[in-house]
Amino acid sequence: MDKKSIEALMTRFEETGVTGPGNPRVKAIVRRLVTDLMLAIEDLDISSEEFWIGLNYLGDAGKRGELGLIVPGIGLEHFLDLRMDEAEAKAGLTGGTPRTIEGPLYVAGAPEVKGEARLDDGTQPGELVVMGGVVRDAKGNPIPHAKVEVWHANHLGNYSYFDQSQSAFNLRRTILTDENGRYKFRSIMPVGYSVPPGGSTDILLQQLGRHGHRPAHIHFFVTAEGQRKLTTQINIESDPHLWDDFAFGTREGLVPPVKTNSDAAAMTALGTDKPFYEIEFNFDMQPAKAEAPVTDFDRPRAAA
Ligand code: MBD
Ligand code: FE
């Protein structure tokens, strides 16, 4: 069928079995997506067998809870970031800390701590890291009482809650900046995440000839009154996958230097006899602006 016949078919479908006006926005989106799928079936001559394999694959991925992992894996979540960047530029918002993908592993409800937090529960191996910095507005002024939500993987690349072997909210905290806009935490160095072997995402990536590894990274939501919510991550510069992330999350400006501190007094203060890592990273916020699409949009998220 050609495009005109498909469009006519879609119009007939829309006009059949009508019970009311429905939701015009949903109608427009469904019409477009179904039309585009039909066009793809035509253009690529997708067989019936391929079609049903695809449908079953998606149902299966949903059952396994992997749809939120496939989305970053095929680049859709990064695409949404790029669209948000464009919308902000159009609204006159430029500069600031780059955003990058949230991913599917945030859990709401992490313990709130003022100024300085320890993220790890002390039971797991890993190299000590101390990270801190200032949350600032677009003029460079520090923002006291800003909320820095942080979450990251353990030494095996696993996230608490999704990995039930870890304690509740291990490597997850909500830190409120102090009077000088500073946040600080100690934790253990994360290791890069990999998609579950044999899962839906893994099956797809294998068919695409791609791996399912991310470089080591630390996630952040930064929120403050009158500011746009910032969703971002920092990446660990030494990771071999730094610029080879299956989820396309690494961006210029999100790879801070990782220093090694071997000062004896500093080590003693942290209760360690080994040198530890130090990362300094500031978050530069954008002011709330009605013309730009909201960044604190709803999305189904886990909560504990
Ligand atoms: C992650 O840890 C992650 O951050 C993303 C984006 C996808 C999968 C796992
Ligand atoms: Fe992650």
CB-side neighbour CA atoms (13 Å) of 229? 12
For a mutational test of ligand 1's pocket, the pick from 74, 80, 100, 105, i.e. the residue with the most ligand atoms closer than 8 A to its C-beta, is 105
What confidence score (pLDDT) does residue 180 get?
98
SS (H, E, C) 107-140: EECCCEEECEEECCCCCCCCCEEEEEEEEECCCC
Which atom in ligand 1 lies closest to the alpha carbon of residue 73? 7
- The H or E element that residue 278 is part of is strand 276-280
Q: 152 in ligand 1 pocket by Cβ < 6 Å?
A: no
Is 109:160 a contact under the CB 8 Å cutoff? no
Among 68, 74, 7, 70, CA closest to 34:
7
- 32-45, pLDDT tens digit by residue? 999 999 999 999 99
What confidence score (pLDDT) does residue 88 get?
98
What confidence score (pLDDT) does residue 98 get?
98
Q: 69 in ligand 1 pocket by Cβ < 6 Å?
A: yes
Place of tokens 């071997």: 262
* Ranges of H-type helices in 21-168: 24-44, 48-63, 67-73, 76-90
- 83-105, pLDDT tens digit by residue? 999 999 999 999 999 999 999 99
Separation between Cα atoms, residue 241 and residue 218, nearest integer Å = 14
- 164-176, pLDDT tens digit by residue? 999 999 999 999 9
The residues, any chain, with a CB within 8 Å of residue 134's CB and separated by 6 or more, are 142, 177, 180, 181, 182, 183, 282, 283
b/e map of 287-301 (b: 16 or more CB within 10 Å)? Answer: ebeeebeebeeeeee
What confidence score (pLDDT) does residue 242 get?
98
Q: Residue 263, SS3?
A: coil
Specify the pairing of strand 230-235 against strand 217-223: antiparallel
What confidence score (pLDDT) does residue 8 get?
98
Ligand 1 geometric centre to CA of 48 (Å)? 33
Q: Whose CA is nearest to atom 6 of ligand 1?
A: 103
Query: Which tokens go with 12?
Result: 């007939």
CA 51 to chain centre: 30
Q: Residue 287, SS3?
A: strand
Q: Whose CA is nearest to atom 5 of ligand 1?
A: 103
Among 253, 251, 300, 288, CA closest to 100:
251
Residue 43 is which amino acid?
A: D
What confidence score (pLDDT) does residue 110 get?
98
On whether the pTM is more than 0.75, the answer is: yes
Separation between Cα atoms, residue 195 and residue 105, nearest integer Å = 12
Domain boundaries, the chain: 1-46, 70-303
Ligand 2 ion: nearby residues, β-carbon < 5 Å: 103
9-34: average pLDDT: 98
The residues, any chain, with a CB within 8 Å of residue 119's CB and separated by 6 or more, are 150, 152, 170, 171, 172, 173, 185, 186, 187, 188
Q: 188 in ligand 1 pocket by Cβ < 6 Å?
A: no
What confidence score (pLDDT) does residue 90 get?
97
What confidence score (pLDDT) does residue 35 get?
98
Q: 249 in ligand 1 pocket by Cβ < 6 Å?
A: yes
Ligand 2 geometric centre to CA of 9 (Å)? 43
141-146: average pLDDT: 98
Ligand 2 geometric centre to CA of 217 (Å)? 6
- 182-221, pLDDT tens digit by residue? 999 999 999 999 999 999 999 999 999 999 999 999 999 9
Query: Which tokens go with 30?
Result: 């469904």
Residue 139: pLDDT band with limits 50, 70, 90:
very high
Residue 283: pLDDT band with limits 50, 70, 90:
very high
What confidence score (pLDDT) does residue 5 get?
98
Rg of the chain over CA atoms, in angstroms?
23
Instruction: Please give the CATH number for the structural domain made up of 70-303.
Output: 2.60.130.10
